[in-house]
Chain A
Amino acid sequence: GENVEQHPSTLSVQEGDSAVIKCTYSDSASNYFPWYKQELGKRPQLIIDIRSNVGEKKDQRIAVTLNKTAKHFSLHITETQPEDSAVYFCAAANTGNQFYFGTGTSLTVIP
């Protein structure tokens, strides 16, 4: 089955700096890679996703890159703000719609 690894587990950045979270996956059949943000006690919210036919996608301050050959993808948040503080999960999905989540990264943005 799919194995998704995520690093780092915790990340602290100063407000305005950038944050980068990296994930690797094992199953070459995975073709969809969403990123979710989960605030304490709340449901995960999709923030950005990328499909295997695309190498990069950007949405305002958030971007995701995908390297299919190396089987890794990354989340980039620029100009971080305190409200970006949350736990971020990457996931890899196959055509069967099953998501396999990374272990999560707790991001703290220091004002």
Chain B
Amino acid sequence: GAVVSQHPSWVICKSGTSVKIECRSLDFQATTMFWYRQFPKQSLMLMATSNEGSKATYEQGVEKDKFLINHASLTLSTLTVTSAHPEDSSFYICSASKGGGAGGKNIQYFGAGTRLSVL
């Protein structure tokens, strides 16, 4: 199987605080992890692509200093929303991609998502 665990599932925080979200691949090594943001009834918007041991690649319009991504190992990536504000409230979903092999290279396995509510 390919299981991706994401924690926490829901977090409520005060404006100005920072929140860390973890994404773990439980039974495989993820060469690449992705972070998405999803607004209600809308699609998944790619925020950044993260490769183990290197800096994340951010999509246009996504603030690097606002959304800090760390991919310290092949099974863990973290997204830290710094100095969160109400407009950062959203559903954040990570995914992980297996490496190697023509058949499995592109498949992404998603975490269950984190609902962030900033008061």
Q: List residues of A whose CB falls within 8 A of some B CB.
A: 1, 6, 32, 34, 36, 42-46, 49, 89, 93, 96-104, 106
Contacts and interface: CB of A to CB of B under 8 A. Distances in A.
Given A97-B32, A102-B43, A103-B42, A42 B107 contact: no
Given A44-B93, A101-B46, 13 more contacts: A6-B43, A42-B113, A43-B112, A43-B113, A44-B110, A46-B107, A97-B106, A98-B46, A99-B34, A102-B43, A103-B42, A104-B42, A104-B43
Contact of A42 (B36, B95, B108, B112): B112
A97 B31 CA distance: 10
> What secondary structure prevails in chain A residues at the interface with B?
strand
Contacts of B14: none
A98 B45 CA distance: 11
Given A44-B44, A103-B43, A104-B43, A97 B97 contact: yes
A32 B105 CA distance: 10
> What secondary structure prevails in chain B residues at the interface with A?
strand
Q: Which 3 A-B pairs have the closest CB atoms?
A: A43-B110, A32-B106, A101-B44
A44 B45 CA distance: 13
A89 B110 contact: no
A43 B42 contact: no
Contacts of B42: 103-104
B43 A101 contact: yes
Given A46-B107, A89-B44, A103-B43, A97 B49 contact: yes
A46 B4 CA distance: 13
B43 A89 contact: yes
B49 A98 contact: yes
Interface in B82-119: 93, 95, 97, 105-113
A45 to B, nearest CB: 8
